[in-house]
Amino acid sequence: MKEQKTPLISHIFTADPSAHVFNDRIYIYPSHDIPHDGEDNDNGDEYQMQDYHVFSIDDKSDEVIDHGQVLHQDDVPWVSEQMWAPDVVYKNDTYYLFFPARDKDGIFRLGIAESKKPEGPFAPRKDYVKGSFSIDPCSFKDEDDKVYILFGGLWGGQLEKYRTGTFDPNGTEPPKNEHAVWPKIAMMKDDMSEFAEEPRDIVILDKDGKELLAGDEDRRYFEDPWMHKHNGKYYFSYSTGTTHYIVYAVSDNPYGPFTYQGRILEPVLGWTTHHSIVEYHGKTYLFYHDCEISGGINHRRNVKYCELKYRPDGTFETIVP
């Protein structure tokens, strides 16, 4: 595909792009920002997304197809508001859309909607995934066909409120000299009905084997988990949130622990940064968002992509947007 210099999607505001190759096309599953005049805050109240659109592209033309609205919060019985960053996985001849949203009590959960086509529309299940919490679900299907769901986000995503194992509305991040709040991973049952296990911590280490600390904001996890595999290694990439980097760590096991490697993407215009990585026709691409169209308004974002290159040792060349 041609190197992109402008936003991929400009007729609506989109963010948090999860990209996958299905049927020799790249399908993009973003969140859909809705313009409004509300204030920005650390709880993420400005992100009032209500529905999902699916987009697709290929390397035969520059056309980006908007397949239209494929799911709305009014279609999901358990949802009250804020359908944030989604992802999709293909298994059992079905495309499963994983998405976060607040339930009727204002607690973030993960839901599933299904389709027989990658472009949807998606039919939601009546209830959220049992035992799910927080935001930013990422689906990873390994070579043995096992599907893992990675998830979690601090602050508005409520991840730090589960440090005791159950939801504490007054839960906070740990002191800066303690280990960071870890994202979560859980294998799905083969029929994709629910988690096959209790979610586990994804522990991230420095190159000396020590756990990253909560005060290490240049490297510790904040939100936006993504996993892919390259040359037999599991790559776990994520956003540092407050310092606005996309960084990554590597392991020999999908459960980790993962060893921090470095940065993938330097800060973009706007507060949030959120990504996915996909291989297509022999090249690797990074999908991400910034706020170019809106001039920096945090809840009016636009999706972009660029080529991502490996060095011979398997590390990434850092991208400056």
- What confidence tens digit (pLDDT) does each residue in 132-157 have? 999 999 999 999 999 999 999 999 99
Mean pLDDT of the chain: 96
Q: Which long-range contacts (CB under 8 A, 24 or more apart) does 290-298 make?
A: 290/321, 292/6, 292/7, 293/7, 293/10, 293/13, 294/13, 296/269, 296/270, 297/270, 298/40, 298/46, 298/270, 298/271, 298/272
CA distances from 50 to 123, 127, 159, 224, 304 (A): 15, 17, 21, 19, 21
Pairing verdict, β 25-33 and 51-57: antiparallel
In the residue annotation, 223 being an active-site residue is answered as yes
Catalytic entry in 16, 33, 136, 224:
16
Tokens of 265: 């993407």
pLDDT digits (tens, 9 = 90+) for 74-125: 999 999 999 999 999 999 999 999 999 999 999 999 999 999 999 999 999 9
Buried b (16+ CB within 10 A) or exposed e, 165-179: eeeeeeeebeeeeeb
51-56: average pLDDT:
98
Is residue 3 predicted with pLDDT exceeding 80?
Answer: no
What does the pLDDT read at residue 192?
A: 98
Tokens of 113: 């909607």
Rounded CA separation 118/24 (Å)? 11
Residue identified by tokens 């986000």 is 153
What does the pLDDT read at residue 168?
A: 97
What does the pLDDT read at residue 6?
A: 80
What does the pLDDT read at residue 83?
A: 98
Domain 13-307, what architecture? 5 Propeller (2.115)
Is residue 19 predicted with pLDDT exceeding 80?
Answer: yes
101 C-beta neighbours (distance < 10 Å), count: 24
- Specify the pTM: 0.97
154-162: average pLDDT:
98
Tokens of 294: 């809106």
In the residue annotation, 16 being an active-site residue is answered as yes
139 contacts 147 by C-beta, under 8 angstroms: yes
56-67: average pLDDT:
94
Catalytic entry in 119, 223, 224, 290:
223
